[in-house]
Structure 1
Amino acid sequence: MTVNEVARILEQLAPLGYAEDFDNVGLLVGNSGMEVNGILVTLDTLEHVVDEAIEKHLNLIVSFHPIIFAGLKKITGRNYVERTVLKAIKNDIAIYAIHTALDNSISGVNHKICKVLGLTNTRILIPQKETIKKLVTYIPVANATKVKNALFKAGAGAIGNYSDCSFSVEGTGSFKPNEKAQPVKGTIGEIHFEKETQVSLTFSKSEEKQILAALFEHHPYEEVAYEVTTLANTDQNIGMGMIGELENNMSETDFLNHLKEKMNAAVVRHSELRNKDVKKVAVLGGSGAFAIGAAKAAGADVFVTADVKYHEFYQAEKQMVIADIGHFETEQFTKNLLVDYLTKKIPNFAIHLSESITNPIKYF
């Protein structure tokens, strides 16, 4: 199995198209065609994580956080990023990062937090915008079914719990081939009229490449007329954060104790308590202060996240409780999620959960 084949499996869970624009995801170090002899899954890729991979004879590190975030103009070993990259390259170890692609996956980071906390009836807190696209193309009537089926197989026309969705209308297309053309229908130099079917299908932006490839492969025309537009509709299965419900109401102090225990948190920084029961809980792994307003609007009793600044706690306004348990703590189970996923997808393959502790924050 090659690095590229492992990447394709990971992208079934978290397509790289889901990642935020600021992020750096995918293969960061190494050759995509390299044969993989084993995978080490980690939250962060640091020097001692590369050492662990070397010791265990594993040549692919799947990391949640990217070790390379900003551009590297020199790699001389002057800081921890450059030293990590140098060691990986020297030992032929590839590094793949998944970060916000997994954050935005409905089965990703925040889904895992919800499971650990025992939340049910979960849904995405902030659906990602501009994730749904629409393809419009024009096909000779006789070929329409064949081309539509190829597009369905490539992933087009999936809407929520439905597949093979499309809209078709028949009309007449016209074209005149020039002397360089090789027309399937019509005659060079003469205008041709053809009964065609206009087909419209929606698809996820992460599938655009494969859908257009299917269109060009199966459409009979030499020149394929098509349009791709981005829709304002939101996909409720892609986005940041999640909100769910506890099976039974808890007092705020009982929930904070529950949170601290389940998430192995050394401390919980929180806003003022409301002295009300907790039923609805919103979560967002990592730095999630930007979602405070969304959590309030969704009716959350508690919002669990990390890296909340002093003045941001005021935004709770006694409408909910903001609970900051730490960046590492909110994302710590992510590597377990990835190991479980890869083990199911690639059984009988060497997949190891990193034993290295990469939390840079210590508590006294």
Structure 2
Amino acid sequence: MLAKGQTVVALMERLAPKHIAVPDDKIGLQLGSLRKDISTVLVTLDVTDEVVDEAIALKAELIIAHHAIIYRPLSHLQTDTPAGRLYEKLIKHDIAVYIAHTNLDVADGGVNDMMAEALGLTVTGHLEDIHTDKLKKLVVFVPESLQEPVREAMFAAGAGAIGHYSHCSFNISGTGTFLPQEGADPFIGKFGKLERVAEVRIETIVPASAEKKVVQAMLKAHPYEEVAYDLYPMDLNGRTFGLGRVGKLPEAISLSAFGEHVKQALDVPFVRVVGVPDKEIRKVAVLGGSGSRYVRHAIFAGADVLVTGDIDYHTAQDALAAGIAIVDPGHNAEKIMKAGVAAWLQSRLTEQKSATRAVASAVDTETFKLL
């Protein structure tokens, strides 16, 4: 059975939740409809004419891209312009385009983690914190004999995680009372009779981002017609998500050797290097995309080198003067996300026994050529 477009996107948002994106980033569905069966999803870095032709050849109904095709509000849609022709081709072939940008950069297992893993880094932190999930306390009262299914449903939906521990809860036994009124359909008890039931008060932690999902799961698993529960904020923070990664190489190497390592690991045709060739490199900061404004972050993190794209001349001069090296593999180094996202999506689709396939684009969208 084929997955619906909404299902594919829901899976994608498990990897790259929209709420962790940088504010005002252009993410989500940008063109077309998700209300259809999807036989093939094409995962790409950029949406170009060649990529759209590839999607047409594959009979793909959905493209998931890292870079947006619509950056600003459209004042017109003229099909004799390059952008207009692209939109027209997508619409004529009923191909939807969904964007996962900074949310995919920030996500655990996203672009920056893929790049760090390819470079062989043991990650120790972020370059810049972007989003911290607030924690809430969920309290629910359940009959003693049915507490386990309710607790497990909440855990499965995302409750109960504290640091490196999961399934965290506190449980207190007590007596619940209620009197069914006219119109009630009680799971326990009878109309007009006061009931006393042995119940358990279950307390657990819920990230604010998972609040709706956890509450819905709890209500679905709970046997009562009217569920007694409390949900309140706490002065505690949950997980923090951030842009870029900082980590260490297994052993120190020279900057020139490291530059060659970056070129091979990220499969790019060339890299630009700033710094003394024999400088010792051990601690590395990496950021997919344009990272000129993150040089100071890398210095503050104590990195020997920053791996990022689109470094301008004056930023390179400042970095050299500050004593931090730079290896610039270009913006297109983010293409690592194509195979990574396609494999992740295919695994989730297979788990759901879906016949939908996720395919990494084979089109090279690198703009720059080295002569």
Aligned equivalent of 1:52: 54
CA change 1:283–1:234 in 2 (3 A) is farther
Shift of residue 346, structure 1, vs aligned partner: 3.8
- What is the percentage of aligned positions where both structures have the same residue? 33
Q: Return 258-267 or 142-151, whichever deviates more.
A: 142-151
Provide closer, same or farther for how the CA distance between residues 148 and 100 of structure 1 changes in structure 2, counting only shifts above 3 A: same
Per-residue deviation, 1:200: 4.2
Q: Residue 131 of structure 1 aligns to a residue in which SS?
A: strand
> Which blocks of at least 5 consecutive residues in structure 2 are unaligned?
none
TM-score, length of structure 2 as denominator length = 0.80
Does the Cα contact within 8 Å between 1:265 and 1:326 map onto a contact in 2?
A: no
Q: 1:145 to 1:353 in 2, by over 3 A?
A: closer
Change (3 A) 1:84 1:193: farther
What's the offset of the Cα at 1:210? 1.2
Cα drift, residue 57 of structure 1? 1.9
Distance in 2 (CA, whole Å) between partners of 1:180 and 1:76 is 60
Amino acid at match of 1:122: V
Which of 37, 42, 53 is 2:44 aligned to? 42
CA distance in 2: counterparts of 1:294 and 1:110, whole angstroms: 15
Alignment match, 2:322: 318
Partner of 1:222: 226
Amino acid across the alignment from 1:324: D
Contact 1:156 1:211 survives alignment (8 Å): yes
Aligned-pair distance for 1:269? 4.4
Q: Structure 1, unaligned stretches of length 5 or more? A: none
CA spacing shift, 1:344–1:172, aligned 2, 3 Å: closer
1:180-195 superposed matches below 5 A: none
Kept in 2, the 8 Å contact 1:133–1:228? The answer is no
1:61 CA displacement: 1.2
The residue aligned with 1:359 is 366
Whole-angstrom CA distance in 1 between matches of 2:102 and 2:228: 35
> In 1, distance between residues paired with 2:238 and 2:158?
17
Q: Are the counterparts in 1 of residues 175 and 198 from structure 2 also a CA contact under 8 Å?
A: yes
**Change beyond 3 A, Cα 1:268–1:231:** farther
TM-score, L = length of structure 1: 0.81
Q: Distance in 2 between matches of 1:228 and 1:71?
A: 38
Q: 1:127 touches 1:234 (CA, 8 Å); kept in 2? A: no
Confirm or deny that 1:3 pairs with 2:5: yes
- Cα distance between partner residues in 2 of 1:241 and 1:248: 21
Aligned residue in 1 for 2:103:
101
| Cα distance in 1, alignment partners of residues 71 and 135 from structure 2 | 29
Deviates more, 1:166-175 or 1:49-58: 166-175
Give the counterpart of 2:77 among 75, 81, 85. 75
Is residue 297 from structure 1 mapped to residue 304 from structure 2 by the alignment?
A: no
Once residues 346 and 185 of structure 1 are traced to their aligned partners in structure 2, the CA distance between those partners, rounded to angstroms, is: 40
- Give the Cα–Cα distance (whole angstroms) in 1 for the partners of residues 297 and 120 of structure 2: 21
Query: Which of 82, 90, 100 does residue 88 from structure 1 map onto?
Result: 90
Partner of 2:211: 208
Per the alignment, do residues 312 and 179 of structure 1 end up closer, same or farther by CA in structure 2, a change over 3 Å counting?
Answer: farther
Write out aligned runs for 1:13-52 (5 A): 13-52=15-54
Aligned to 2:166: 163
Query: Is contact 1:106–1:124 with CA below 8 Å preserved after alignment?
Result: no
Assess, with a 3 A threshold, how the Cα gap between structure 1 residues 350 and 204 changes in structure 2: closer, same or farther: same
* Matching residue of 1:328: 332
How far apart are the structure 2 equivalents of 1:57 and 1:98?
21
Corresponding residue pairs, total: 360
Q: Does 1:287 align with 2:294?
A: no
User: Is the strand fraction higher in 1 or 2?
Assistant: 2
